[in-house]
Structure 1
């Protein structure tokens, strides 16, 4: 018995025991539901009629023939691109500004990060009141003689409004990540570059950006995945309207499964969402070799 439990085997057992809770949780709450969603996508499940029939690939054929899917994917793409660009750009700008050794920067860091810890639904409801036709934003515009649009009912302004609400909600998280990365850049490199005559923009492009590129990769993956999973903002602010201009993929999935009771087709849309998220994540991870420092 003692010869069986060698030191290496005891170490391996201890390692497996340490990762067992996380492994079991992943199997129960990640892999298990994913397998069930694929299984449901091969069936037509009518809860009201209490029927569960195997239909094979019919839901996937319906997905290919869905006339609304093109508009939904276009809205999802517009939202994701707008959110990622505005969020990362604003977060990096704020991090650079708040990285300066000035009085009051701690207060501003707290102010910009505080929306991250606020309830998402509460945050969205407040912005819903502000963006109404007679809400607070149009009230402020009226004081300077400007008539504001009906932000949540215009096809263009509705999507932009949702993007802005989401950017202000989560920009503080990326700002903190960028700020931590900026504070890890050795000051000696800046001093040496300054002595060589490099200006601020050259120091930023040749020193700062390469050294914080791993953090840019992390924040871009987090933001892209988060942008594809947006739901509460759409449900509270626009309900997918006007028309289908703000009907993103997750909200369309919700409509099909829980409003129209097409659970099999909703599961098929879930599989599509998983494939898109996985594909974009792998693409970003593969492209890191071209622009992330020390990843070649």
Structure 2
């Protein structure tokens, strides 16, 4: 009988613990439902309608999604988004690893150097983009004036199709590379010193130590930064809006800018919602695929 009473008491205690746990997480769950999951479902409902911002909605099913396949501007903006991501993500991560490798060793002025690299991260994106827009101006821009001093005629950086997107990628990398640098620097400082000592005894060069010791042990951080940087690149908007407005000739029109243009310039909320959900599913598929293949190259300490 005592055993049954003890068992009942344990069940009651477990039940009360569950209730307490749900009460503690309920504010987050309620907030997620009201401000994230609920609006997400409503946005999907809007994507199934012909929904002019200033008119009445009409249910049209998946017609908006069918229209996407024949929309040349959507295809162009999707290609531009992928090109932007393919240009930014490797450049950002490789540069961040290189800077972190330099800054993990102490030398005179290291604090100032770290600050200079990280300052753009905390600078307003709009301010950063405006400054670079003027630096890259065709005639009065600082960069073209410096090139003129050595007899080189600078191009129209933001008004030329071959240079507009690469320039925006370069400016975006400089804006955010400091954050990834700090993450990699922290990861490198956690690598056990005895591993470097053992590799030195084996006669390994600095490059071999980096390739065989440092890089494998920081792959969890590489994985994290790859996910974060890719998602950020796929959602790029501020730089495009300030510096190019999608031009010239739609050469920098990315998907998020096209979503904004469709919603708030053409007032087609239904089609804009369909565009947004295409981006959502692309990011979801990328995240799931990355999570599946991570075990093949990400180091996990047992």
TM-score range, shorter chain: over 0.9
Provide the C-alpha distance between the structure 2 equivalents of 1:22 and 1:123, rounded to a whole number of angstroms. 34
Instruction: State the TM-score, normalizing by the size of structure 1.
Output: 0.95
* 1:169 has 2:175 as partner: yes
**Aligned residue runs from structure 1 range 105-254, under 5 A:** 105-133=110-138, 134-254=140-260
Larger radius of gyration: 2
Provide the C-alpha distance between the structure 1 equivalents of 2:244 and 2:261, rounded to a whole number of angstroms. 13
Partner of 2:262: 256
Contact 1:131/1:151 (8 A) holds in 2? yes
Tell me by how many angstroms 1:5 deviates: 8.3
Instruction: State the TM-score, normalizing by the size of structure 2.
Output: 0.93
* 1:59 has 2:67 as partner: no
Provide the C-alpha distance between the structure 1 equivalents of 2:113 and 2:11, rounded to a whole number of angstroms. 57
Tell me by how many angstroms 1:64 deviates: 1.4
Partner of 1:38: 44
Contact 1:59/1:264 (8 A) holds in 2? yes
Tell me by how many angstroms 1:14 deviates: 2.7
Q: Which of 39-48 and 265-274 deviates more? A: 39-48
Partner of 1:23: 29
Provide the C-alpha distance between the structure 2 equivalents of 1:20 and 1:107, rounded to a whole number of angstroms. 45
The structure 1 residue matched to 2:274, chosen from 263, 268, 273, is: 268
Partner of 2:90: 85
Provide the C-alpha distance between the structure 1 equivalents of 2:195 and 2:285, rounded to a whole number of angstroms. 37
Aligned pair in 2 of structure 1 residues 14, 103: CA closer, same or farther (>3 Å)?
farther
Tell me by how many angstroms 1:3 deviates: 5.7
Gap regions ≥5 residues in structure 1: none
Gap regions ≥5 residues in structure 2: 1-7
Contact 1:289/1:295 (8 A) holds in 2? no
The structure 2 residue matched to 1:73, chosen from 74, 78, 84, is: 78
Tell me by how many angstroms 1:143 deviates: 1.8
Give me the CA root mean square deviation: 1.7
The structure 2 residue matched to 1:103, chosen from 98, 105, 108, is: 108
Provide the C-alpha distance between the structure 2 equivalents of 1:3 and 1:101, rounded to a whole number of angstroms. 60
Matched residue of 2:157: which SS? coil
